[in-house]
């Protein structure tokens, strides 16, 4: 088999000075692969000033190539694809890794076409003993496949969070500038816009998802509904943990006519088959039964815990890691108390 | 929510609607319409230039034939199916079963009487004695796995030469061929809200002049929203109604035109089924057909049909004459598949799909006027289903074929679609055919069940064996009266209050709790074959409804719900789309409704106009399974 | 100003179906694939609705839908989609599914587009989904764009504002829930759509009937395309295990549970 040569394409963040986290993660992926295959590693940097950006890579034993210029300040297809093409030509790699960032995802397939290579995206792991085998998901995260390819160059876009970000210490590598011939640029990036967020919708960057189920507004042991108290407990928890707020369909539907039972909830909060499928490292379900239509929305919640009164609820049947059979009113009140103490 | 509303349409403001002219407008795409359109399409393709296929409404264009189906896909039906396929084979003499997924020829048939291995079913004394005798004679009679196989099967049940199929796959196969010609259009996801009536000037009474499609861009309560689009009026020379047992168009016509004297749709059953992937080492061969009775309740009939590739359809029919308002069919089905005779084969299987739908079991008792000026009825809604044999697909198909033949003849002779002309050819053809013959044999076959299970079985056997000449007479009450208002005293003399407590403690549906209290063991979920009802809704083609349509279920009078103790509508709801909510009026969630139609005949209360309290209109969505 | 919009949209199994991979003769396939009802790929469908809206705003514009898939399934999907917006269909008959190689799909699509009579490439906006719901790769549309020589490309588009001079502003999805705004001088360009802003159009039987005059002939004309696999080999395709090993904690006091939870919340 022909020896592989590996190139990692990276780019800077919005500020333009340092490499993005996902770029640094991909550097780790590239380094691991190069070490395993005992082949040289090349890094390519796309930045206004790639020399400055190379400072994000101390102590990396690799050849570093860079393209620099105002044209690369903002992501844009025509300039980016030309830059990547120039880096690839300079590196002559067989395997090209890049982060699955919006910037790289916009150009990677076009790049593959230009360098007569093949491409796979959304890679969640790179394995294999001798050959390179990658895994990715198909059919909206429902089928997991392991793929290999014979065509080279082979471009792989690596999902965020698959590797730790590269962290080096001493020593700076020498950067070689690569010239890019730019076509006439017909697109002008004018900036980014943050969508108007209402207060308590699902927050994509939160560490944790908190799901409130319909049990919060059901009659409790004393035969009464305690919606007011439920609302306070939930909001207090959110405020203390900065968790993202999700809900079951049953609970948000209650707000359907007239006054919502918990006024801060809307259909925007619904998690599940007919709602959202958020991504968070942790999730806590409270007063929710864990029916399948709801739990399909938890596909990307890594660690799952639930508090429910019902030992036969869905969570207890293999849908959560831990289920506490307990009264969520009592547990969350105490949790809030402890969080307040320790904060 | 949309709890109180006047009767359909009566308060709807008159608005300008777009109209469309067609020659033939068709409602619903089931086997009946499949038979109709296949026959029409085939004649047309054989000679497209024939002037008889020129449109009368669009000059210079061919016949405009438009078919509208409520469900999101033409493959979304629910049925058994085992069928003798006499009519279907007639239409496809060179039928190659390999072309239709999940179809197999019938290879063996058994009838099993299932004993109750648990002791929770409600068996009358006579039956309990009979059961004891059976068990005592076990060795001689060959009772195995608590099941007794009848040594012979009555002729009316024979499906020799017949087929085991999936209705979804069959309809998809038929529909694809029809559409490929480009002559006929079948539009799914488009409910027909009502027939268009017009005064008939040549005689007293009304004629049907087309159909109105459902309004879109409306709120749940039907109020126009921002993106309101009024449903189109499709004006047609002939309207063909094949909307099944409880289609809203058929029911509107029944209401407007009345029913033939003495006819009424009073007997119903909810059919619910699982499609199960059998374990790899299964001994069941494709084409195997089992009919069962006796368990989980004596009056519940069941079936197991085996498709190719280790798939089986297993289901039960819970009839209106069961009486008991605790009719949680899903739970019954879970007990059914665990009966030792079935469980032996199903145990390590995997649930792939699930579905439910009502059957009009009134047969000819419920036959409406088959034709009228401008319209004709085909399929189950026209009373074609044969209750004695539990067979409706081939009958429906054949009525469709018969109507198409009549239509072709009328077109050829340039005659119009009047009641007389349609009656003279379509109705006459139908009356002279095997469909009518079998329906007559079956007409009173099930009457005995209103007297009890044992008279029911005897009556059915006699009717079957004598070709219907002898059968038990019975005075059949309307469906809502068949529901027993008072809970039968169960073993533990349960009071509703006790059960209610169970419900609050466990947080689960009332009727489910009731069954547990009556001695039915709890279902132990295994996540493969035994899953919660909500989980089943998510399997193999889940339930969904597009936004922008009005709720299709409306409670006519909220006051009646408040008074209602039984709330059978909730117990019987296949999709758990009707739930108790927090007040006394059930809550309806359109997104979970599978359009099984059970709520229509499971409401115990009657409004001032003599209608049950649930108004069920044409709606979109429902199951997306193509395997049922 | 008028536009020529070509929307590339594949078909995928109705997302409500249970999917299961099996080993087919040419790599993995879906179990009972031909039995599963299909729908127009959702993101590509938003592209189609956006395109129809644009076309209606600029008189003289035209809209083609280029769809590659098994003919019988295409026909079935068209019965729904043709009720929604007006388009001219270009059908390519191919046994494609999520396991097929994206670049092979792209070449089949590009040749389908190149063969469209009357297509004016200077007015061409190539639309599609930024990813498919089957392969989910985000590769197809970009490659078609390259094959047609279009170098202004946008991915994850949620909005386009077309100006009278033919230039337009687009919003593309970027990290952190934000949008990147760009102004492009005009056609030709490639826009891979995310969800956009338009609701799914109602089913309109009149539109359906008008479309059918071209849809059925287009299906009958559909050319067969065999897809190559570009050296791609599947070593496995499997369903993830859904079941977790759940620890059910029954008899712990609320305070103790709270303690355990707070520790869990605080761990990194
Ligand atoms: C087609 C379809 C699509 C659907 N889509 C979605 C979807 O996208 N998202 C979704 O969420 N659902 C969806 N559903 C509905 C879903 O099946 C469930 O009905 C819903 O998730 C139930 O919500 P829940 O668990 O909050 O309520 P419930 O089922 O009412 O459960 C409440 C739970 O709270 C517990 N409880 C009560 N009081 C307490 C207390 N003090 N402490 C602890 N526990 C308590 C009870 O024991 C019970 O387990 C869908 C259903 C269908 C059919
Ligand atoms: C569980 C079960 C098992 C069965 N087993 C068997 C069996 O083994 N053998 C057998 O022969 N028969 C069986 N049957 C009966 C058989 O399925 C029916 O008799 C047959 O499907 C009737 O055909 P049809 O065309 O008249 O109506 P349907 O199949 O009901 O078709 C009517 C169509 O009209 C549509 N529709 C309704 N209202 C509207 C509207 N307003 N606008 C537009 N469209 C509308 C419906 O969605 C439906 O697709 C079974 C039925 C069930 C429920
Ligand atoms: S059975 Fe009828 S009256 Fe009773 S709750 Fe249901 S809809 Fe209302
Ligand atoms: S509400 Fe829908 S699912 Fe429930 S019984 Fe009525 S038709 Fe069936």
Give the residue from chain A lying closest to B3, CA to CA.
A257
**Mean pLDDT across the stretch A129-133?**
88
Task: Read off φ and ψ for residue A242, nearest 5 degrees.
Answer: 55, 30
Torsion of CA C92, C93, C95, C98, to 10 degrees: 30
The answer to which of A221-230, B375-384, C74-83 has the lowest mean pLDDT is A221-230
Asked whether residue B497 falls in the same domain as residue B594, the answer is: yes
- Give the closest residue to A289 by CA, choosing from A272, A302, A303, A275: A272
Tokens of A42: 């090349």
Is the pLDDT assigned to residue B9 strictly greater than 70? Answer: no
Structural domain contains residue A202? no
Asked whether residue B472 falls in the same domain as residue B505, the answer is: no
* Beta-sheet pairing, B311-319 with B301-307: antiparallel
8 A C-beta contact, residue B79 and residue B160:
no
Structural domain contains residue A285? yes
Asked whether residue A102 falls in the same domain as residue A212, the answer is: no
Domain count, chain A: 2
Comparing C79 with C184, which gets the higher pLDDT? C184
Asked whether residue A102 falls in the same domain as residue A247, the answer is: no
Contact B532 A293 (CB under 8 A): no
pLDDT for B244 equals: 97
**Mean pLDDT across the stretch B461-469?**
72
Contact B182 C72 (CB under 8 A): no
CB nearest A334 (choices: C134, C243, C255): C255
Asked whether residue A121 falls in the same domain as residue A225, the answer is: no
Band (pLDDT 50/70/90 cuts) for residue B157 is: confident
Asked whether residue A116 falls in the same domain as residue A212, the answer is: no
Query: Domain end: A126, A154, A177, which one?
Result: A177
**Mean pLDDT across the stretch C239-255?**
87
DSSP state of B424: I
CB nearest C32 (choices: B101, B185, B229): B101
Asked whether residue B380 falls in the same domain as residue B528, the answer is: no
Is the pLDDT assigned to residue B458 strictly greater than 90? Answer: no
Is the pLDDT assigned to residue B616 strictly greater than 90? Answer: yes
Tokens of A304: 């799952």
Does A318 contact chain B (CB < 8 Å)?
yes
Does A218 contact chain B (CB < 8 Å)?
yes
How far lies B459's CA from each of A23, B388, B474, in Å? Answer: 79, 10, 11
For A266-328, the DSSP string reads -GGGBBSTTSB--EEEEEEEES----HHHHGGGTEEEEEEEEES-TTSGGGTTT-SEEEES-H
Asked whether residue A243 falls in the same domain as residue A335, the answer is: yes
Instruction: Identify the residues whose C-beta falls under 6 Å from ligand 4.
Output: B 553, 572-575, 577-578, 593-599
Share of chain A above pLDDT 90, in %: 67
Q: What is the CATH number of the domain that holds A14?
A: 3.40.50.620
Is the pLDDT assigned to residue B221 strictly greater than 80? Answer: yes
Comparing B579 with B358, which gets the higher pLDDT? B358
pLDDT for B98 equals: 93
Structural domain contains residue B191? yes
Band (pLDDT 50/70/90 cuts) for residue B364 is: confident
Pick the CATH number of C4-224 from 3.40.50.11740, 3.20.20.150, 3.40.50.620, 3.20.10.10: 3.40.50.620
Residues of B in contact with C79 (CB under 8 A): 179, 185-188
ipTM of the prediction: 0.92
Is the pLDDT assigned to residue A231 strictly greater than 80? Answer: yes
B80 lines ligand 2 (CB under 6 A): yes
Share of chain B above pLDDT 90, in %: 60
> To the nearest whole number, what is the mean pLDDT of chain A?
90
Q: What is the CATH number of the domain that holds B589?
A: 3.30.70
Residue C200, Cα to own-chain centre: how many angstroms? 14
Identify how many contiguous H helices and E strands chain A contains and give both numbers: 8, 16
CA dist., res. B584 & res. B567, Å (int): 9
Residue B202, Cα to own-chain centre: how many angstroms? 36
- Give the closest residue to B517 by CA, choosing from B490, B553, B484: B490
Question: Which residues lie closer than 8 Å to B305 by C-beta, 6 or more apart?
Answer: B80, B81, B82, B164, B288, B289, B290, B312, B313, B314
Tokens 């209750």 identify what position? B387
Nearest-Å Rg of the Cα atoms of chain A is 24
Domain that holds residue B55: 19-79+168-264+369-418
pLDDT for B483 equals: 72
CA dist., res. B144 & res. C10, Å (int): 53
Asked whether residue B511 falls in the same domain as residue B374, the answer is: no
Residues of B in contact with C220 (CB under 8 A): 182
CA dist., res. B475 & res. B595, Å (int): 29
Domain count, chain B: 3
Structural domain contains residue A122? yes
The answer to which of B3-7, B215-219, B222-226 has the lowest mean pLDDT is B3-7
pLDDT for A197 equals: 47
Is the pLDDT assigned to residue A117 strictly greater than 90? Answer: yes
pLDDT for B1 equals: 33
pLDDT for B508 equals: 61
**Mean pLDDT across the stretch C192-216?**
87
- Give the closest residue to A26 by CA, choosing from A155, A197, A170: A155
pLDDT for B370 equals: 97
Question: What are C4's strand-pairing partners?
Answer: C62, C124
Contact B176 C18 (CB under 8 A): no
Asked whether residue A156 falls in the same domain as residue A48, the answer is: yes
pLDDT for B494 equals: 55
Torsion of CA A309, A313, A319, A325, to 10 degrees: 20
Structural domain contains residue A14? yes
Comparing B3 with B259, which gets the higher pLDDT? B259
CA dist., res. A203 & res. A234, Å (int): 15
Asked whether residue A158 falls in the same domain as residue A305, the answer is: no
Tokens of A156: 């792989």
Band (pLDDT 50/70/90 cuts) for residue B448 is: confident
Band (pLDDT 50/70/90 cuts) for residue B579 is: confident
Residue A192 CB burial class (10 angstroms; 0-12, 13-18, ≥19): middle
Question: What are C6's strand-pairing partners?
Answer: C64, C126
The answer to which of A202-216, C103-117, C164-178 has the lowest mean pLDDT is A202-216
The answer to which of A76-80, A126-130, C88-92, C253-257 has the lowest mean pLDDT is A126-130
8 A C-beta contact, residue A292 and residue A268:
no
> To the nearest whole number, what is the mean pLDDT of chain C?
92
**Mean pLDDT across the stretch B544-548?**
81
Asked whether residue B452 falls in the same domain as residue B514, the answer is: no
Atom 8 of ligand 3, nearest CA residue? B561
Nearest-Å Rg of the Cα atoms of chain C is 22
Q: What is the CATH number of the domain that holds B209?
A: 3.50.50.60
Q: Is the dihedral of CA B620, B622, B624, B626 positive or negative?
A: negative
**Mean pLDDT across the stretch B463-486?**
71
Give residue-wise pLDDT tens across range A20-40. 999 999 999 999 999 999 999
pLDDT for B545 equals: 81
pLDDT for B590 equals: 86
The answer to which of A217-221, B24-28, B186-190 has the lowest mean pLDDT is A217-221
- Give the closest residue to B118 by CA, choosing from B340, B283, B438, B306: B340
Q: Which of B8, B9, B25, B28 to mutate to test the pocket of ligand 2 (most atoms within 8 A of CB)?
A: B28
Question: Which residues lie closer than 8 Å to C68 by C-beta, 6 or more apart?
Answer: C10, C91, C92, C93, C94, C96, C105, C108, C109, C112, C225
Asked whether residue B466 falls in the same domain as residue B413, the answer is: no
Torsion of CA B259, B265, B266, B267, to 10 degrees: 150
* Beta-sheet pairing, A125-127 with A133-138: antiparallel
**Mean pLDDT across the stretch B113-128?**
92
Residues of B in contact with A252 (CB under 8 A): none
Touching C (3+ Cβ pairs <8 A), the chains are: A, B
Tokens of B576: 């758990």
Structural domain contains residue B117? no
**Ligand 1 geometric centre to CA of B511 (Å):** 19
**Mean pLDDT across the stretch A266-276?**
78
Question: Which residues lie closer than 8 Å to A203 by C-beta, 6 or more apart?
Answer: A197, A242, A244
Band (pLDDT 50/70/90 cuts) for residue B537 is: confident
Query: Domain end: B476, B499, B516, which one?
Result: B476
Give residue-wise pLDDT tens across range B260-303. 999 998 899 999 999 999 999 999 999 999 999 999 999 899 99
Question: Which residues lie closer than 8 Å to B44 by C-beta, 6 or more apart?
Answer: B50, B53, B62, B63, B181, B183
Is the pLDDT assigned to residue A316 strictly greater than 50? Answer: yes
Number of C-alpha atoms within 13 angstroms, CB side, residue B254?
A: 21
Residues of A in contact with C238 (CB under 8 A): 143-145
Asked whether residue A165 falls in the same domain as residue A224, the answer is: no
Residue B37 CB burial class (10 angstroms; 0-12, 13-18, ≥19): buried
Residues of A in contact with C236 (CB under 8 A): 145-146
- Give the closest residue to A297 by CA, choosing from A267, A319, A283, A276: A276
Shortest Cα distance from C18 to chain B (angstroms)?
A: 5
**Mean pLDDT across the stretch B65-88?**
94
* CB atoms closer than 10 angstroms to residue A186: 17
Domain that holds residue A298: 208-342
Structural domain contains residue A191? no
Is the pLDDT assigned to residue A145 strictly greater than 90? Answer: yes
Band (pLDDT 50/70/90 cuts) for residue A173 is: confident
* CB atoms closer than 10 angstroms to residue A188: 14
pLDDT for A222 equals: 82
With left for phi above 0 and alpha for psi between -120 and 50, is residue B519 left, alpha or beta?
left
* Beta-sheet pairing, A95-99 with A41-46: unpaired
B/e letters for B398-430, b = 16+ CB within 10 Å, e = fewer, are: bbbbbbbbbbbbbbeeeeebbbebbbbbbbebb
Band (pLDDT 50/70/90 cuts) for residue B10 is: very low
**Mean pLDDT across the stretch B461-476?**
70
For B198-239, the DSSP string reads EE-TTSSSEEEEEEEEPPEEE-TTS-EEEEEEPPPEEEEEEE
8 A C-beta contact, residue A10 and residue A23:
yes
Band (pLDDT 50/70/90 cuts) for residue B622 is: very high
* Beta-sheet pairing, B206-213 with B192-199: antiparallel
**Mean pLDDT across the stretch B51-72?**
94
8 A C-beta contact, residue B574 and residue B612:
no
Q: What is the CATH number of the domain that holds A239?
A: 3.40.50.1220
Asked whether residue B464 falls in the same domain as residue B413, the answer is: no
Structural domain contains residue A201? no
8 A C-beta contact, residue A44 and residue A91:
yes
Is the pLDDT assigned to residue A255 strictly greater than 80? Answer: no
The answer to which of B407-421, B495-509, C12-26, C181-195 has the lowest mean pLDDT is B495-509
Give residue-wise pLDDT tens across range B550-577. 999 999 999 999 988 888 898 889 988 8
**Mean pLDDT across the stretch C188-196?**
93
Asked whether residue B495 falls in the same domain as residue B471, the answer is: no
Shortest Cα distance from C147 to chain B (angstroms)?
A: 33
Share of chain B above pLDDT 70, in %: 91
pLDDT for A115 equals: 97
Asked whether residue A162 falls in the same domain as residue A265, the answer is: no
**Mean pLDDT across the stretch A106-110?**
98
> To the nearest whole number, what is the mean pLDDT of chain B?
88
């Amino acid at each position: 088999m022909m020896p592989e040569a590996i190139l990692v394409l990276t780019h800077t963040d919005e500020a333009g000075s340092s490499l993005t986290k996902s770029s640094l993660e991909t550097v780790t992926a590239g380094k691991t692969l190069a070490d395993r295959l005992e082949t040289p590693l090349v890094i390519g940097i796309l930045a206004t000033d790639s020399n400055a950006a190379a400072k994000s890579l101390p102590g990396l034993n690799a050849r570093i190539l860079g393209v620099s210029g105002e044209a690369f300040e903002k992501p844009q297809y025509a300039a980016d694809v030309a830059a990547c093409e120039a880096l690839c030509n300079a590196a002559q790699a067989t395997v090209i890794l890049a982060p699955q960032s919006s910037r790289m995802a916009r150009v990677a397939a076009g790049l593959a076409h230009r360098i007569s290579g093949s491409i796979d995206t959304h890679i969640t792991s790179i394995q294999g003993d001798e050959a390179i085998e990658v895994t990715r998901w198909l059919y909206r995260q429902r089928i997991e496949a392991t793929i290999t390819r014979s065509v080279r160059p082979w471009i792989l876009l690596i999902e965020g969070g698959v590797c730790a970000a590269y962290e080096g210490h001493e020593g700076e590598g020498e950067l070689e500038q690569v010239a890019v011939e730019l076509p006439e640029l017909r697109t002008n990036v004018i900036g980014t816009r943050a969508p108007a967020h209402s207060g308590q919708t699902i927050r994509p960057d939160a560490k944790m998802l908190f799901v409130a189920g319909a049990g919060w507004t059901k009659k409790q042991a004393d035969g009464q509904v305690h919606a007011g108290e439920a609302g306070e407990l939930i909001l207090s928890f959110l405020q203390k943990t900065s968790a993202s707020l999700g809900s079951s369909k049953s609970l948000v539907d209650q707000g359907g006519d007239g006054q919502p039972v918990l006024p801060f909830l809307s259909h925007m909060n619904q998690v599940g088959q007919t709602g959202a499928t958020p991504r968070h490292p942790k999730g806590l379900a409270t007063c929710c039964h864990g029916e399948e239509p709801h739990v399909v929305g938890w596909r990307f919640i890594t660690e799952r815990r639930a508090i429910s009164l019902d030992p036969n609820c869905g969570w207890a049947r293999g849908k959560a890691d831990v289920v506490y059979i307990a009264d969520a009113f009592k547990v969350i009140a105490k949790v809030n108390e402890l969080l307040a103490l320790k904060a | 929510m949309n709890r109180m509303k006047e009767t359909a349409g009566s308060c709807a403001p008159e608005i300008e609607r777009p109209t469309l002219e067609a020659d033939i407008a068709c409602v619903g795409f089931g086997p009946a319409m499949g038979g109709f359109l296949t026959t029409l399409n085939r004649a047309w393709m054989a000679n497209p230039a024939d002037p008889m296929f020129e449109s009368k409404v669009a000059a210079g264009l061919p016949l405009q034939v438009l078919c509208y189906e409520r469900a999101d896909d033409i493959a979304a039906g629910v049925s058994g199916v085992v069928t003798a396929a006499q009519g279907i084979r007639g239409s496809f003499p060179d039928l190659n079963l390999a072309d239709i997924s999940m179809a197999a020829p019938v290879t063996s048939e058994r009838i099993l009487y299932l004993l109750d291995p648990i002791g929770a079913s409600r068996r009358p004394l006579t039956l309990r004695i009979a059961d004891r005798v059976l068990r005592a004679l076990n060795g001689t009679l060959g009772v195995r796995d608590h099941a007794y196989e009848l040594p012979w099967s009555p002729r009316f049940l024979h499906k020799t030469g017949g087929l085991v199929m999936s209705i979804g796959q069959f309809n998809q196969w038929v529909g694809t061929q029809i559409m490929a010609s480009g002559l006929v259009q079948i539009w799914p996801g488009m409910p027909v809200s009502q027939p268009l009536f017009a005064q008939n000037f040549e005689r007293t009474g009304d004629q049907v002049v087309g159909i109105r499609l459902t309004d879109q861009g409306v709120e749940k309560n039907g109020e126009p929203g921002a993106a309101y689009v009024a449903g189109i009026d499709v004006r047609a020379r002939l309207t063909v109604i094949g909307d099944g047992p409880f289609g809203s168009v058929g029911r509107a016509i029944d209401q407007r035109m009345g029913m033939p004297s003495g006819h009424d749709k009073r007997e119903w059953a909810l059919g619910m089924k699982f499609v199960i992937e059998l374990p790899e080492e299964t001994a069941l061969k494709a084409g195997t057909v089992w009919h069962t009775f006796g368990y989980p309740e004596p009056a519940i009939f069941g079936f197991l049909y085996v498709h190719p590739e280790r798939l089986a359809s297993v289901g039960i029919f819970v009839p209106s004459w069961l009486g008991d308002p605790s009719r949680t069919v899903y739970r019954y089905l879970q007990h059914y598949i665990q009966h030792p005779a079935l469980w032996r084969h199903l145990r390590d299987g995997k649930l792939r799909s699930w579905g439910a739908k009502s059957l009009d079991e009134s047969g000819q008792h419920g036959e409406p006027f088959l034709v009228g000026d401008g319209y004709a009825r085909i399929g189950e809604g026209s009373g074609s289903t044969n209750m004695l044999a539990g067979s409706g697909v081939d009958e429906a198909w054949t009525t469709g074929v018969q109507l198409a033949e009549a239509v072709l003849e009328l077109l050829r002779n340039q005659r119009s679609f009047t009641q007389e002309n349609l009656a003279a050819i379509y109705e006459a053809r139908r009356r002279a055919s095997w469909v009518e013959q079998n329906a007559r044999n079956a007409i009173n076959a099930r009457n005995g069940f209103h007297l009890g299970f044992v008279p029911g079985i005897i009556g059915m056997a006699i009717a079957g064996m004598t070709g219907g000449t002898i059968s038990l007479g019975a005075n059949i009450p309307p469906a809502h009266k068949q529901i027993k208002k008072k809970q039968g005293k169960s073993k533990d003399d349960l009071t509703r209050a006790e059960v209610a407590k169970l419900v609050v403690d466990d947080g689960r549906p009332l009727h489910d709790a009731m069954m547990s209290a009556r001695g039915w063991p709890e279902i132990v979920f295994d996540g493969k074959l035994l899953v919660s009802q909500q989980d089943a809704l998510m399997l193999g083609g889940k339930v969904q409804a597009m936004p922008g349509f009005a709720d299709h279920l409306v409670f006519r009078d909220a006051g009646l719900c408040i008074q209602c103790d039984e709330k059978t509508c909730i117990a019987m709801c296949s999709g758990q789309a009707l739930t108790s909510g927090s007040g006394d009026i059930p809550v309806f969630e359109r997104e979970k409704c599978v359009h099984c139609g059970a709520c229509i005949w499971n409401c115990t209360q009657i409004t001032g106009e003599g209608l049950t309290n649930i108004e069920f209109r044409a709606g979109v969505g429902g199951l997306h399974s193509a395997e049922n | 100003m008028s536009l020529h919009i070509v929307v590339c949209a594949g078909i995928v199994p109705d997302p409500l179906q249970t999917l299961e991979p099996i080993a087919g003769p040419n790599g993995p396939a879906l179990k009972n694939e031909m039995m599963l009802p299909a729908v127009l790929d959702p993101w590509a469908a938003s592209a189609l609705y956006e395109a129809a809206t644009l076309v209606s705003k600029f008189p003289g514009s035209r809209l083609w839908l280029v769809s590659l898939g098994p003919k019988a399934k295409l026909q079935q999907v068209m019965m729904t989609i043709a009720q929604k917006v007006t388009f001219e269909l270009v059908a390519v008959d191919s046994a494609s599914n999520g396991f097929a190689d994206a670049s092979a799909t792209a070449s089949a699509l590009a040749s389908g587009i190149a063969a469209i009579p009357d297509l004016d490439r200077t007015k061409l906006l190539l639309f599609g989904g930024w990813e498919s719901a089957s392969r989910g790769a985000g590769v197809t549309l970009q490659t078609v764009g390259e094959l047609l020589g279009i170098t202004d490309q946008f991915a994850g588009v949620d909005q386009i504002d077309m100006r009278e001079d033919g230039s337009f502003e687009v919003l593309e999805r970027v990290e952190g829930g934000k949008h990147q705004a760009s102004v492009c001088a005009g056609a030709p360009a490639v826009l891979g759509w995310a969800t956009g802003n338009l609701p799914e159009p109602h089913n309109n039987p009149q539109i359906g009937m008008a479309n059918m005059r071209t849809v059925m002939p287009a299906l009958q004309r559909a050319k067969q395309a065999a897809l190559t696999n570009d050296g791609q080999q599947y070593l496995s395709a499997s369903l993830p295990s859904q079941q977790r090993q759940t620890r059910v904690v029954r008899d712990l006091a609320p305070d103790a549970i709270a303690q355990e939870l707070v520790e869990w919340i605080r761990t990194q």
